[in-house]
Amino acid sequence: MPPATNTDTTDRNQQLFDRAKRVIPGGVNSPVRAFKAVGGTPRFVQRAQGAYFWDANGKRHIDYIGSWGPMILGHGHPAVLEAVQKAALDGFSFGAPTEREVELAEAILERVPSMDMVRLVSSGTEAGMSAIRLARGATGRSKILKFEGCYHGHADALLVKAGSGLATFGNPTSAGVPPEVVQHTLVLEYNNILQLEEAFSLHGKELACLMIEPIAGNMNFVRASVPFMKRCRELCTQYGALFVFDEVMTGLRVAFGSAQSVYARSIPGFEPDMTVLGKVIGGGMPLAAFGGKRAVMEQLAPLGPVYQAGTLSGNPVATACGLATLKEIGKPGFYEDLGRKTQLLISGLQAEADKAGVDFCGDSEGGMFGFFLFKELPQNYAKVMTTDNARFNTLFHGLLDRGVYIAPALYEAGFMSAAHTDVDIAETVAAASEVFKLLSK
């Protein structure tokens, strides 16, 4: 664990953090960056290349966050860099349509064919919020259903925790969200089929949509079980609620066709009604999207009555970055190699934890992974949150000290990139081996 106060006067990370705290709330522009959960000083990134970034002290870290998912090719991929530089020379933003937006929309639909049409926006939050408005507009219903531990961005209606029973709707999890705003949001336990069935029998006819992270990366890494996913699909169809897949994190990261293609392997013909994307489709630039069946998407302005807009939507530099990224990840063998490396990491960590006698388990799909200091993989948020914080923090800081950067919170997933090599993975496993020894004492 780090000292309670960092008094090292040569620490540039600390100097920058102190300076930042004077002008930016908490010193960061997104809360998890502040290291609040794990303690210590956030690393200010000076530059990044491939699988690494260098912090303000010039120290190199193997990066398993990759901007929380987008950097699937690693940092500074030459083809992406070239596309971005070229696009920037032609102009930063026009507020008028461009050919590149059409190309990117076509490329996304080719990879996620459950969607007939897609609208480009600038963040996952915006995409999720707009998908819900569209689902409500298209169905003429108000209520929405989500699951505890799934994060869908910070739109007011989604900052909500479960109420006291299935007959009651949610309570806000953030100040500034009036209770009336979340009174239409029902929150259920992930992977709980009985509760799901009960909720649909009570509220199914009033539900505009059910929104889910198919592999939840905001409670570390928890898969929706196949029977649970199948039941979600059946109940949405039966009650006329739209089934919305939030693939902001999993989209084009866990497989070429995203998480929905993974479930379609076990559930023939499986498709959601709508999909929300972000992160990888922008390759590190502010770009996200939501899409679905034509009849639903045609309800959007300017065709239909559901309003949605954005000054920077489909930004020309962001779309260039996204397109160049999609081109690279569409090359043959890309996901096979990415998945192989992710598995190599997880099996390496498992072997070292076993040797040290530390409870450990991990899971991965494509280039996304998670691990827990448990014997068995958890199935829901309540179980994830029983993780021993102190032990996780020892693991986090032990790895950080050894130049391995994982998420500074136990409820976040990890990300592999094409730039990580087997040598990086071996270095990571060797670092973890030392830390597991500390945890076994």
The smaller minimum CB distance to ligand PLP, of residues 119 and 397, is found at 119
> Which one of 48-56, 198-206, 210-218, 345-353 is the stretch in contact with ligand PLP (CB under 6 A)?
210-218
Cβ atoms of 80 and 324 closer than 8 Å: yes
Q: Binding ligand PLP by CB under 6 A: which of 43, 61, 152, 233?
A: 152
Q: Which of 52, 64, 151, 190 is catalytic?
A: 151
Q: Which of 279, 341, 363, 381 is catalytic?
A: 279
Quote the tokens at residue 299.
């309800």
Q: Would you say how long the chain is, in residues?
A: 441
Does residue 125 touch ligand PLP according to CB under 6 A?
Answer: yes
**223 touches ligand PLP by CB under 6 A:** no
Q: Which stretch binds ligand PLP (CB under 6 A): 146-154, 161-169, 186-194, 425-433?
A: 146-154
The packing angle between helices 99-111 and 316-329, to 10°, is: 30
| One residue of 124, 204, 292, 414 binding ligand PLP per CB under 6 A | 124
Q: Is the CB of 251 or the CB of 339 nearer to ligand PLP?
A: 251
Residue with Cβ nearer ligand PLP (122 or 139): 122
Q: Which of the ranges 7-15, 59-67, 78-86, 211-219 carries the binding residues for ligand PLP, by CB under 6 A?
A: 211-219
Stretch that binds ligand PLP, among 15-23, 120-128, 347-355, 372-380 (CB under 6 A): 120-128
Report the distance separating Cα 10 and Cα 56, nearest Å: 11
Q: Give me the half-sphere count of Cα atoms (radius 13 Å) on the Cβ side of residue 159.
A: 15
Pairing mode of beta strands 60-63, 404-405: parallel
**Distance between CA atoms of 204 and 243, rounded to whole angstroms?**
12
Please tell me which residue in 55, 63, 246, 273 is annotated as part of the active site. Answer: 246
Q: Which is nearer to ligand PLP, 65 or 241 (CB)?
A: 65
Site string for ligand PLP, 240-269 (x = CB under 6 A): ------x-xx--------------------
Among 63, 101, 213, 424, binds ligand PLP (CB under 6 A): 213
Q: By CB under 6 A, is residue 308 in contact with ligand PLP?
A: no
Which is nearer to ligand PLP, 217 or 283 (by Cβ)? 217
HEC-encoded secondary structure of the chain: CCCCCCCCCCCHHHHHHHHHHHHCHHHCCCHHHHCCCCCCCCCCEEEEEECEEEECCCCEEEECCHHHCCCCCCECCHHHHHHHHHHHHHCCCCCCCCHHHHHHHHHHHHHCCCCCEEEEECCHHHHHHHHHHHHHHHHCCCEEEEECCCCCCCCHHHCEECCCCCCCCCEECCCCCCHHHHCCEEEECCCCHHHHHHHHHHHHHHEEEEEECCEECCCCCEECCHHHHHHHHHHHHHHCCEEEEEECCCCCCCCCCHHHHHHHHHCCCCCCCEEEECHHHHECECCEEEEECHHHHCCECCCCCECCCCCCCCCHHHHHHHHHHHHHHCCCCHHHHHHHHHHHHHHHHHHHHHHHCCCCEEEEECCEEEEECCCCCCCCHHHHCCCCHHHHHHHHHHHHHCCEECCCCCCCCEECCCCCCHHHHHHHHHHHHHHHHHHCC
Active site residue 246: yes
Taking the complex as a whole, how short is the minimal distance between the CB of residue 170 and ligand PLP, in angstroms?
17
Binding of ligand PLP by 151 (CB under 6 A) = yes
**For residues 409 and 435, which CB has a smaller minimum distance to ligand PLP in the complex?**
409
Q: Does 316 bind ligand PLP (CB under 6 A)?
A: no
| Residue closest to ligand PLP (Cβ) | 124
Is 327 part of the annotated catalytic residue set? no
Least separation in angstroms between CB 138 and ligand PLP = 20
Which member of 27, 40, 74, 128 binds ligand PLP (CB under 6 A)? 128
Strand partners, 247: 277
Q: Does position 313 bind ligand PLP by CB under 6 A?
A: no
Rounded to a whole number of angstroms, the CA Rg of the chain reads: 22
The nearest distance, CB 71 to ligand PLP, in angstroms, is: 13
Of these, 13, 14, 41, 123, which contacts ligand PLP (CB under 6 A)? 123
Identify which of residues 246 and 271 has a Cβ nearer to ligand PLP in the complex.
246
Task: Between 155 and 435, name the residue whose CB sits nearer to ligand PLP.
Answer: 155
Residues touching ligand PLP, count (CB under 6 A): 16
Residues that bind ligand PLP (CB under 6 A): 68, 123-125, 128, 151-153, 213, 217-218, 246, 248-249, 278, 288
Residue positions annotated with a catalytic role = 151, 246, 279
